[in-house]
A and B are shown apart, each in its own frame.
Chain A
Amino acid sequence: MNLIDNTPSALTGVNDSLLSEIADRLGEFAQTGQSASIDLRSLPMSDADREDLKERLGHGEVMVKLDVAGLSEIWETSFAGVWWIRHFGGDDQIAAEEINIVSVPDILHAHQADARAAASRLSKIIQEERHHG
């Protein structure tokens, strides 16, 4: 528990600018397919700002939990194409938090190299099973 927490509980007004930035980027994405990302960690937001932004963007149809070098949570907000990405590091601290404006966030795709490794692992398993069977 935090004995002293001086983070202001008040809204700082940052979200109004942030929301219009998101709207601009989303409009651009809808028109041209140009994706964008806004790094929330580099903005001086209070805890109240963060909660307020979460509420104003809401939750949409997709919610993903990743177990990769610690946990990550990704959800599509109620605005299609606007994703909230939250990566946890050690000790469940937030290591990175960003808004992505994109059809699917990169980290959700399976990488070719991982697929290659998986393919060889799978065929090895099948071979071994045949051998023992």
Chain B
Amino acid sequence: MAEPKTLGQMLEARGISRRAFLKYTSYLASSMALGSVAAKAMAENLASARRQSVIWLSFQECTGCTESFTRSVSPTLEELIFDFISLDYHHTLQAASGEAAEEARHIAMRENKGKYVVVVDGSIPTKLDGAYSTIAGISNLQMLEETVKDAAAVIAVGTCAAYGGIPAAAPNPTGAVGVDQLVTDKAIINIPGCPPIPEAMTGTISYILSFGKLPELDHLKRPIAYFGDNIHDRCYRRPFYERGLFAKSFDDEGARKGWCLYEVGCKGPITYNACATLKWNGGISFPIQSGHGCLGCSEPNFWDKGGFYKPLPAPIRDIGKVAAGAAVAGAAAGVVSAAVGRAKKKSAMKEGKS
């Protein structure tokens, strides 16, 4: 039997209904604040799209990003992403090894020339001509250059691939850099985080597949849908911040009562990520909810910013002292209109219609 062509046909053959597509895209559209109109369009487009060839390159990394990506897989809704992409090369996940593995990469590049997506995790060492990290006899630098040449887009997942990450921490012994410092002639998307939120990775890939274009990006090339919000603006501890109620240490009364973690070093106010809304492990919790401040892991150089437990410099405490009730109600009203505002802005995109 000939291979079914579209994802819709492919999954239909396995008894997966269009409702499953719509449920999947509702889940993603919600994670991207795109609204139900976009979810419907996304489901239709996805059903008529073809399986996306993905070549995943792992350089100076800890495999945490891959862990996060594969942990988005519970045996139901979230695993659909693995039906939508064809992961043609991935050191850790592929069965093939040695020459057969490299051959798989070359075949995928040849057969999908100009159409495949390269995902990179890990930074690229540039000192000594890249000799600090090699795979299959070539440096990471060479492998990146060779593989992105005919790619449609490059997605740098994790803070290492996006900005150099931990390997680039001072004094950066290997000369580690992120992808966009080396690749200048391709569409690049950064999905930073240490690791990134799984939905940010699967959502971005599904978005490209559905709409055939990159999502809207911020000045650091991050999808605005996932990185457009400040942790502090979306933090459920914000009412305590507004009232000037702060934990001063990790075992004091304030910590036990769940007050704001600003004074124990929370970097939420300078961090853009979706932790406060999407949360982790299928929405169970996120660091602030389990009592630890945000580290700011989706921002460049987060490890070199003077200490995870050192409070941010700005003197903010006094703001919270005024009219607590009114301030909280005001903040809440602001949040709702912001959510609706976001929905309005996104619905104007109407990608699915084209």
Q: Which of the 9-residue segments B61-69, B139-147, B232-240, B299-307 touches chain A?
A: B232-240
Please measure, in the bound complex, the distance between the C-alpha atom of A130 and the C-alpha atom of B199, giving whole angstroms: 49
Residues of chain A contacted by B277 (CB below 8 angstroms)? 41-44
Majority SS of interface residues in chain A? mixed
A107 touching B17, Cβ below 8 Å: no
Q: Which of the 9-residue segments B119-127, B210-218, B331-339 touches chain A?
A: B331-339
In the complex, what residue of chain A is closest to B258 when comparing beta carbons?
A: A6
Q: Min CB distance, A42 to chain B, in Å?
A: 5
A12 touching B332, Cβ below 8 Å: yes
In the complex, what residue of chain A is closest to B74 when comparing beta carbons?
A: A90
Residues of chain B contacted by A41 (CB below 8 angstroms)? 30-31, 277-278, 283
Majority SS of interface residues in chain B? helix
**Which among B23, B80, B329 is the interface contact of A72 at CB below 8 angstroms?**
B23
B22 touching A106, Cβ below 8 Å: yes
In the complex, what residue of chain B is closest to A94 when comparing beta carbons?
A: B283
**Which among B26, B73, B285 is the interface contact of A90 at CB below 8 angstroms?**
B73
Q: Min CB distance, A5 to chain B, in Å?
A: 8
Q: Min CB distance, B353 to chain A, in Å?
A: 16
Please measure, in the bound complex, the distance between the C-alpha atom of A113 and the C-alpha atom of B44, giving whole angstroms: 10
Residues of chain A contacted by B339 (CB below 8 angstroms)? 38-39, 42-43
Say whether, besides A6-B289, A39-B35, A90-B77, A95 and B12 are in contact (CB < 8 Å): no
In the complex, what residue of chain B is closest to A72 when comparing beta carbons?
A: B23
Please measure, in the bound complex, the distance between the C-alpha atom of A43 and the C-alpha atom of B135, giving whole angstroms: 44
Does residue A60 face the partner (Cβ distance < 8 Å to B)?
Answer: no
Residues of chain A contacted by B276 (CB below 8 angstroms)? 44
Please measure, in the bound complex, the distance between the C-alpha atom of A43 and the C-alpha atom of B281, giving whole angstroms: 18
The list of the 6 closest CB pairs from A to B, nearest first, reads A90-B74, A93-B282, A111-B18, A70-B76, A17-B336, A37-B36
Please list the residues of chain B having a beta carbon within 8 angstroms of any beta carbon in chain A: 8, 12, 16-20, 22-24, 26-27, 30-31, 33, 35-37, 39-40, 47, 73-80, 234-239, 258, 276-278, 281-285, 289-291, 328-329, 332-333, 335-337, 339-340, 342-343
| CB<8 Å pairs between A and B, sample of 7 | A8-B236, A37-B35, A39-B339, A41-B278, A87-B23, A95-B282, A98-B30
Please list the residues of chain A having a beta carbon within 8 angstroms of any beta carbon in chain B: 2, 4-8, 12-14, 16-18, 21, 35, 37-39, 41-46, 66, 68-70, 72, 85, 87-91, 93-98, 100, 106-107, 111, 113-114, 117
